[in-house]
Structure 1
Amino acid sequence: MSIAAEPMSVDSDLLAQVAKKYRGEVRSFQSGMFDDAAEFRAKTLQDWNPPSVVARSLTDRFLNLSIILSHMPFEDAFPNELDGAGAYEIHLSVGSHHKELRSPSRVPAAEAAAWAAAIFGPWANDAYSLGAVVKRSGGQPSALHFALYLAGEGTPRQPPSVDLEHRPLSIV
């Protein structure tokens, strides 16, 4: 596991804009992860169909963002994790494309981080930026990725031992 010394800063003003303008979308993402007390609902995770949404960018009028949430049990994703019984990774991907041309575009990192913090809600400071896991042939990231790791009892845990830098989210 590689946790970066420098966290990924989340602009609190941009976070507030995302949370306000897209509150319905953010709530749809959170409804499968949290109950009304903001506690993880592990018992329904197997039946959860994670949502995805396309939203207009708040920082670039020419872009649409594609936000996709997924989840995977540690047993499948990280079989070498001995303490991972019942643990899950909740994974968020944020991509972007030109809204008229529909061509892929550079993902606005600050806005992607604000979406991640809004969706991970009360556990945003326990989430991590994974950066661009895959790049297109032109060198631009196809998407920016974020992860929240949860132990079997539904509480945040450290990332698994993988060769991927994890930058903690930090709301500023």
Structure 2
Amino acid sequence: MTLGERVKVVRKNNNLNQTLFAESIGISQTHVSKIEKDIENPSETLIRFISYMYGVSYDWLKNESGSYSGVDGSTAVDYYSLLISVRYKMENRAKYMNTDSIWEYVDTIKFFDELLDCCDIKHINDEDVIRYYTSLKRVVFNLLLLTKSTEKDVIDKSRTKETLHKEIDKLIDFHNKI
């Protein structure tokens, strides 16, 4: 099975058409189509993010080794390694964000990871935690989009920034709720 076919399996297993799948990961429907047809290859960042967003083993998605599901601990390690590399890129591309901002996002990520581990907090229901954790993942992905070295995955930087701000507003609302 090719990389494009594996991406298609992920999309179909989540009952998404190409347009919805593309929107969920911040790329164009045309790019999804070309990836699935093996005309274009997704960037390393995009492969890692699809793996993280849809709970698919990174090794399976990239190389078809291991199993489709059963995300192991290395996925989280890969994810945080990716965040570190993004921070490095962001320092070099200060035109998008400053270093203080990335540290705020890293702190937010730590907050939500701890929150997921502490679902016994009475005034936060599981649905809120999952919904806002998904928003957090979208924030991180939009940060990744803004720091890519290849531009083909980014539809429109202004739209990406707008989405990023909306997701951050959701996170702030949630934080104020607790």
TM-score by length of 2: 0.30
Greater relative contact order: 1 or 2 (C-alpha under 8 angstroms, separation 6 or more)? Answer: 1
Instruction: Tell me the TM-score normalized by structure 1.
Output: 0.31
Larger fraction in strand: 1
